[in-house]
């Protein structure tokens, strides 16, 4: 599923159910990715849902804030398909390659 902003993403999750993982851009209109993460983690129904922040935000304080609020991983833009696969492997969401 896809959403244009954090508020729309929360609505989609309520309508469509919990996802295994959310790839969340920090910089979105209406509700940014960090605000989405904070609201998501307040609802314990989503405790097992993995959240990967995908962003150009490179400040260590931003990265630490996202991790502190419950982000499972962090990917810096620009990124490759392989970088996403690696993060999903770390989260146990795709099998490790040989």
Q: How many domains does the chain have?
A: 1
Examine residue 19 and state whether it is found in any structural domain, yes or no: yes
Tokens 């849902």 belong to 49
Q: What is the pLDDT of residues 29-59, one digit of tens each?
A: 999 999 999 999 999 999 999 999 998 877 8
Cα 40 to Cα 85: distance, rounded to the nearest angstrom: 23
- Full domain range(s) for residue 41: 6-90
**pLDDT above 90 coverage of the chain, percent:** 78
Examine residue 96 and state whether it is found in any structural domain, yes or no: no
3-state SS assignment for residue 13: helix
CATH number at residue 46: 3.40.50.2300
Q: What is the pLDDT of residues 8-33, one digit of tens each?
A: 999 999 999 999 999 999 999 999 99
Cα 81 to Cα 39: distance, rounded to the nearest angstrom: 28
Q: What pTM value is reported for the model?
A: 0.88
């Amino acid at each position: 599923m896809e959403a244009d902003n954090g508020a729309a993403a929360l609505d989609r999750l309520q309508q469509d159910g919990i996802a295994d993982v959310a790839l969340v851009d920090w910089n979105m209109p209406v509700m940014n990715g960090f605000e989405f993460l904070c609201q998501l983690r307040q609802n314990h129904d989503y405790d097992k849902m993995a959240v990967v922040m995908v962003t150009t935000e490179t400040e260590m304080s931003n990265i630490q804030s996202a991790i502190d609020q419950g982000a499972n991983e962090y990917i810096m833009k620009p990124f490759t398909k392989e970088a996403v696969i690696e993060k999903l492997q770390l989260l146990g969401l795709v099998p490790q390659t040989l």
